[in-house]
Chain A
């Protein structure tokens, strides 16, 4: 149980998928102008990352590993991610068509989010079992959502701050992202995570 907790804390804070591994930076910069969109994107990505981790683990365990097809891993995982996004879209539509109109806007962006593929590949590289794969994927995506919301909050404040014209907009956003990454480096002292 303690191992699981350490794995999760490590994935959320210490080896944060955005600020320590630098994956998913496109959506990190693009969808964080408002907290609401950051939450919507974060939740949708959390769902897709976790569901695709289950599919990827099953494919690796029952197809790629027994038939020695590891060289097909990347392309297979991309297919699983696309299927997971389609599954998410279909299930949200089934849960509530009204809700789909509200939340479906973020789903296309997830297909091309490298954080999703990155988490699955990291899982295979670390040779996690099923439960650890699932928990690692969930925790990584919680870390992603946390950083998205934090950064969106900072950017909402920055929009009201008196920033010089030369630095306004993306430049100050990049500087803030760098400072946030530095702050997250402080967490490396609390745990060694799974690695």
Chain B
């Protein structure tokens, strides 16, 4: 029997994070999906009263992502997509920790060499820039390996939505 689950050929030892997404358009063999919760506050019951969502909520188009449409997805369909847990960790390390560590080292070096706060601050700014370049190189490598792209796992039900983080 032919299966449509892309995760079958993946090693079982890697844990996968799952999330819901809705198909917003299909162009050729590529489906464009929009994550259901645009921000982490999307699932909060107080989100209607909170100003954070109104600041960032209008940028949903920036988060639509492509997915190879091998299973014949149609517009409006809800699917479950997944990303590897260790990929999230590696992405966080590359994007945040690498620039920070280079910035701290540059600031400490500036302060130690000159004893001046101004030079240390300048060193920190330069270090942050260099760190970001290094992060870009690392992110490029992760991206080429395909680790950062979400994968299709299965179709989700459109009706009778029970997958609410407040449920239970």
- Main SS class of interface, A: helix
B148, A112: Cβ atoms under 8 Å?
no
B99, A130: Cβ atoms under 8 Å?
no
Known contacts A94-B136, A108-B53, A111-B55: A134-B104 contact under CB 8 Å: yes
B92, A108: Cβ atoms under 8 Å?
no
B97, A108: Cβ atoms under 8 Å?
no
Measured between beta carbons, the chain A residues less than 8 angstroms from B135 are 95
A30, B62: Cβ atoms under 8 Å?
no
B85, A36: Cβ atoms under 8 Å?
yes
B91, A99: Cβ atoms under 8 Å?
yes
Known contacts A130-B107, A134-B107: A40-B88 contact under CB 8 Å: yes
- Residue B39, interface by CB 8 Å: yes
Residue in chain B with minimal CB distance to A41:
B40
Q: Mark B30-45, 1 if CB is under 8 A from A, else 0.
A: 0000010101110010
Question: Cα distance A95–B103 when bound, in Å?
Answer: 16
Question: Cα distance A54–B92 when bound, in Å?
Answer: 21
Question: Cα distance A40–B37 when bound, in Å?
Answer: 16
Q: Mark A123-138, 1 if CB is under 8 A from B, else 0.
A: 0000001110011001
Question: Cα distance A138–B17 when bound, in Å?
Answer: 28
A43, B136: Cβ atoms under 8 Å?
no
A103, B91: Cβ atoms under 8 Å?
yes
Residue in chain B with minimal CB distance to A35:
B85
Residue in chain A with minimal CB distance to B136:
A95
Least Cβ distance of A63 to chain B in Å?
14
| Size bracket, chain B contacts | 35 or more
Known contacts A43-B92, A102-B148: A138-B104 contact under CB 8 Å: yes
Measured between beta carbons, the chain A residues less than 8 angstroms from B53 are 108
Q: Which of A44, A109, A134, A138 contacts B39 (CB 8 A)?
A: A109
Binds B, one of A13-21, A45-53, A185-193: A45-53
- Residue B20, interface by CB 8 Å: no
B63, A36: Cβ atoms under 8 Å?
no
Residue in chain B with minimal CB distance to A131:
B111
Q: Mark A63-103, 1 if CB is under 8 A from B, else 0.
A: 00000000000000000000000000001111110111111
A108, B55: Cβ atoms under 8 Å?
yes
B117, A129: Cβ atoms under 8 Å?
yes
Measured between beta carbons, the chain A residues less than 8 angstroms from B55 are 108, 111
- Residue B24, interface by CB 8 Å: no
Question: Cα distance A31–B96 when bound, in Å?
Answer: 18
Question: Cα distance A94–B96 when bound, in Å?
Answer: 13
- Residue A106, interface by CB 8 Å: yes
Q: Which of A39, A98, A103, A135 contacts B104 (CB 8 A)?
A: A135
Q: Would you give 21 A-B contacts (Cβ < 8 Å), ordered by A? A: A43-B95, A46-B96, A47-B100, A51-B128, A93-B62, A94-B132, A96-B136, A96-B148, A98-B139, A100-B62, A100-B63, A103-B91, A103-B95, A105-B40, A108-B40, A108-B52, A108-B53, A109-B52, A131-B111, A134-B107, A135-B104
List 7 A-B pairs, minimum CB-CB distance, nearest first: A96-B139, A130-B117, A108-B56, A43-B92, A47-B96, A43-B96, A98-B148
**Which residues does B use to contact A, with CB under 8 Å?**
17, 35, 37, 39-41, 44, 50-53, 55-56, 62-63, 65, 83, 85, 87-89, 91-97, 99-100, 103-104, 107-108, 111, 117-118, 120-121, 124-125, 128, 132, 135-136, 139-140, 142-143, 148-150, 165
